[in-house]
């Protein structure tokens, strides 16, 4: 366990070094957040009433997406791991007395966390002081906030376990481009990153309910605004945990298979 904590810590420290990237990220995310909200303000202004998803909820939804981008984005990738597999440096990882799956898992969580920590606070402060309707409103109750934090963190674990599948697939494909693209395009759509899930047609919402992606992004953000009430949120967390069990189980199984036939590339 100590080893995994330690690699998490090192990845975290490593990520904290990249200040300029963080500043650039903050600017980008503020820009995109504002643009998205402008579009939706215009859309809601056309009189189309979305009583089940009022504008303030949508605004928090968009801001939270931007703030926690590195928690939920599937394309957020660790090129080092890809390089390990395709370049053969994985040889060293395999000489370590610990499981490769949890080791990489901890690395990836550390990377996403460091990136989020660097970015989220400045954006949070700024968006709390923006003029209406762009301002991020606080959660309706402490319970909603607590559930949001819990759901977000479990969601992070879920995102990482899905992204592990991308890394494992590289053992066979030797190129991360295809699998990243496929999983991230589908994943981001069904996570509500393109159109918020509540604004999708009902049948698409049903589809996304049966996929893991919504549970890592869309779900915690709606818990935040109270759009998903506390009692439903607990069920949602159960669904998250179930998905984690399935995806992690599948990931570990396929990793074992991959390692059995692994060819360490290069001399």
Partner 1 sequence: MITLQGIGKSFKVARRAAGLRQAAKSLFVREHTVVEALRDITFQVGEGEIVGYIGPNGAGKSTSIKVMSGILVPDAGTCSIMGFTPWKERTAYVRNIGVVFGQRSQLWWDVPVLDSFQLLRDIYKIPAAEYAGQLALLTETLELGSLLQTPVRQLSLGQRMRCEIAASLLHSPRVLFLDEPTIGLDAVSKQAVRQFIRTINREKGVTVILTTHDMSDIEALASRILLIGKGTLLYDGTLSQLRGRFGSHRTVTAHYSENARPPEIPGAQTISWSPERAVFSVDTGQLPIADVLARLSGQVELLDVEIEAKPVEELIIELYKEHRI
Q: Which of 34, 234, 258, 262 binds partner 1 (CB under 8 A)?
A: 262
- Among the listed residues 123, 95, 133, the one whose alpha carbon sits nearest the alpha carbon of residue 22: 123
Q: Note whether 131 binds partner 1 by CB under 8 A.
A: no
- Among the listed residues 91, 90, 70, 69, the one whose alpha carbon sits nearest the alpha carbon of residue 80: 90
Q: Note whether 99 binds partner 1 by CB under 8 A.
A: yes
Q: How far is the CB of 89 from partner 1 (least distance, A)?
A: 5
Q: Note whether 258 binds partner 1 by CB under 8 A.
A: no
Nearer to partner 1, 97 or 131 (CB): 97
Q: Which of 3, 55, 150, 258 binds partner 1 (CB under 8 A)?
A: 3
Q: What secondary structure letter does DSSP report for 215?
A: G
Q: How far is the CB of 9 from partner 1 (least distance, A)?
A: 8
Q: How far is the CB of 71 from partner 1 (least distance, A)?
A: 22
Can you tell me whether residue 78 is helix, strand or coil? coil
CB neighbours of residue 238 within 10 Å:
10
Q: What are phi and psi of 192, to 5 degrees?
A: 80, 20
Stretch that binds partner 1, among 137-145, 198-206, 236-244, 254-262 (CB under 8 A): 254-262
Helix axes 142-173, 100-128, angle to 10 degrees: 140
Q: Note whether 19 binds partner 1 by CB under 8 A.
A: no
Q: What are phi and psi of 226, to 5 degrees?
A: 80, 5
Measure the N-to-C terminal CA separation of the chain; round to a whole number of Å. 32
- Among the listed residues 227, 232, 217, the one whose alpha carbon sits nearest the alpha carbon of residue 62: 217
Nearer to partner 1, 110 or 226 (CB): 110
Alpha helix (H) residue ranges in 68-175: 69-72, 79-87, 90-94, 100-128, 142-173
Q: Note whether 94 binds partner 1 by CB under 8 A.
A: yes
Q: Note whether 35 binds partner 1 by CB under 8 A.
A: no
Distance CA 3, CA 208 (A): 36
Q: Note whether 264 binds partner 1 by CB under 8 A.
A: yes
CB 8 within 8 A of CB 110: yes
Q: Which of 24, 27, 38, 91 binds partner 1 (CB under 8 A)?
A: 91
CB 93 within 8 A of CB 262: no
Q: Note whether 108 binds partner 1 by CB under 8 A.
A: no
Q: Which of 47, 51, 92, 231 binds partner 1 (CB under 8 A)?
A: 92
Q: Note whether 263 binds partner 1 by CB under 8 A.
A: yes
Q: How far is the CB of 168 from partner 1 (least distance, A)?
A: 17
Q: Which of 24, 35, 39, 96 binds partner 1 (CB under 8 A)?
A: 96
Q: Which of 10, 38, 39, 207 binds partner 1 (CB under 8 A)?
A: 10
Per CB under 8 A, residues contacting partner 1 are 2-3, 5-7, 10, 13-14, 17, 87-89, 91-92, 94-99, 260-264, 266-267
């Amino acid at each position: 366990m100590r080893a995994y904590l330690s690699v998490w810590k090192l990845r975290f420290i490593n990520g904290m070094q990249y200040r300029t990237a963080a500043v650039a990220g903050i600017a980008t995310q503020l820009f995109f957040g504002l643009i998205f909200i402008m579009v939706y303000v215009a859309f809601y202004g056309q009189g189309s009433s979305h009583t089940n998803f009022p504008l303030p909820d949508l605004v928090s939804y968009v801001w939270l997406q931007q703030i926690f981008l590195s928690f939920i984005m599937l394309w957020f990738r660790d090129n080092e791991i890809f390089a390990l597999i395709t370049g053969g440096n994985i040889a060293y990882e395999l000489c370590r007395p610990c499981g490769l799956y949890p080791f990489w898992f901890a690395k990836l969580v550390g990377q996403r966390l460091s990136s989020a920590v660097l970015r989220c606070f400045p954006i949070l402060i700024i968006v709390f002081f923006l003029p209406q309707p762009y301002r991020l409103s606080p959660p309706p109750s402490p319970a909603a906030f607590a559930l949001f934090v819990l759901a977000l963190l479990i969601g992070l674990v879920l995102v990482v376990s899905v992204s592990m599948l991308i890394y494992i697939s590289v053992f066979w494909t030797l190129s991360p481009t295809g699998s990243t693209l496929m999983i991230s395009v589908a994943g981001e759509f069904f996570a509500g990153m393109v159109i918020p899930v509540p604004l999708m047609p009902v049948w698409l919402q049903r589809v996304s309910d049966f996929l893991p992606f919504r549970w890592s992004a869309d779900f915690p953000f709606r818990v935040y605004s109270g759009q998903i009430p506390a009692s439903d949120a607990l069920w949602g967390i159960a669904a998250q945990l179930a998905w984690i069990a399935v995806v992690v189980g599948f990931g570990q199984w396929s990793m074992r298979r991959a390692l059995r036939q692994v060819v360490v590339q290069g001399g």
